Amino acid sequence: SQQGEEDPQALSIQEGENATMNCSYKTSINNLQWYRQNSGRGLVHLILIRSNEREKHSGRLRVTLDTSKKSSSLLITASRAADTASYFCATVLGGATNKLIFGTGTLLAVQP
Amino acid sequence: GAVVSQHPSWVICKSGTSVKIECRSLDFQATTMFWYRQFPKQSLMLMATSNEGSKATYEQGVEKDKFLINHASLTLSTLTVTSAHPEDSSFYICSALPDSGRNSPLHFGNGTRLTVT
C-alpha cells in the first residue's frame, strides 16, 4: 500500500530554476525521508527529517515537514540537468515498525 | 560506506523456473532488510520485511510461498521467486536498515530486473 501521495506527478523546468515537490501522507510517522532514483536504478537517500523537526537543509536541498497537515516538501534550488530523476518521499510509520513506505513519486526533468 | 550489493542486476528466465536474488550489506550489519517491487513508471511497493534468524513478514497480498525470503546472516538476505511466470516480471529492489537504529536511512541495492519469458 502507498502511504504518501506526491504532487506534481511530473515536472519539467529549465536549468537554474527551482523545483518544488510536495508529499502528503496519511498516518503518524517517526520520520520522513526523500530519495532519488535515476531511471532503472536503485535509490539514493537524500534527506531524513524526524517528526519533531520542521526544516532541514543539505546543499541545494531544503525539506520541510508539517506534521499537523501531514505534508512535506522538497525544494531543489538552482537545478541542473543532472538533477533529472524520480523523487520519492517515504515514511517510517509511528510505533514499533521499521517499515519504509513510499509515496507515488515525482518525475523531474531539468532541461539544459 | 553503507553499500548494499544486489545480485544479479538483471535476469531472464523461462516460465516455471525459480530465480534467486541476493542482497548483501557490505560494510555494516543489518538485522532487518526489506524487499520492494517496482513496475515501470510506478513507485516502490513493499513486499516483505526480512528479519535475520526469523521468518519474514509479508505485506498483504504478497504470496509467501511464491516469494521465499531467507535472511540467514546479518549481511545477507535472499529472495527466491519460485515457479516464475511472466506476470512476475518486474524490478525488485532490496534495502537494508543499519543496526545503528531506526532513524537511520535505508540503503538500497541497485535492483534486479527480472524478465520471465
Q: What gap in Å lies between CA A107 and CA A87, rounded to an integer? A: 6
pLDDT at residue number A2: 55
Which of A68-82, B45-59, B97-111 has maximum average pLDDT?
A68-82
Q: Shortest CA distance to A23 belongs to which of A12, A34, A13?
A: A34
* Whether pLDDT at B8 is above 90: yes
Q: Do B91 and A102 touch (CB under 8 A)?
A: no
Q: What gap in Å lies between CA A101 and CA A87, rounded to an integer? A: 14
Residues of A in contact with B107 (CB under 8 A): 45
* Whether pLDDT at B53 is above 90: no
Q: How confident is the model at residue B105 (pLDDT cuts 50, 70, 90)?
A: confident
For the beta sheet containing B67-73, the strands, ordered from the edge strand earlier in sequence to the opposite edge, are: B4-7, B19-25, B76-81, B67-73
pLDDT at residue number A27: 87
Q: Is A70 helix (H, G, I), strand (E, B) or coil?
A: coil
User: Which grid cell sits at B16?
Assistant: 516455471
Q: Do B95 and A100 touch (CB under 8 A)?
A: yes
Q: What gap in Å lies between CA A11 and CA A2, rounded to an integer? A: 21
pLDDT at residue number A94: 67
Question: How many beta carbons lie within 10 A of that of residue B6, not counting itself?
Answer: 22
Smallest Cβ distance to B111: which of A42, A48, A102? A42
Least confident of A95-99, B1-5, B32-36: A95-99
* Whether pLDDT at B98 is above 70: yes
pLDDT at residue number B58: 95
Best of A7, A99, A107 to disrupt the B interface by mutation (most B CBs within 10 Å)? A99
Q: What gap in Å lies between CA B49 and CA B91, rounded to an integer? A: 17
The dihedral region occupied by B2, where left means phi > 0, alpha psi between -120 and 50, and beta the remainder, is left
Taking 50 as the pLDDT cut, the residues of chain A under it are none
The β-bridge partners of B112 are: B92
Regarding predicted confidence, which is higher, B86 or A39? B86
pLDDT at residue number B100: 74
Average pLDDT, chain B: 92
Q: Which residue of B has its CA nearest to A103?
A: B43
Q: Which chain A residues in 77-106 lie under 8 Å from chain B, judged by CB atoms?
A: 88, 92, 98-105
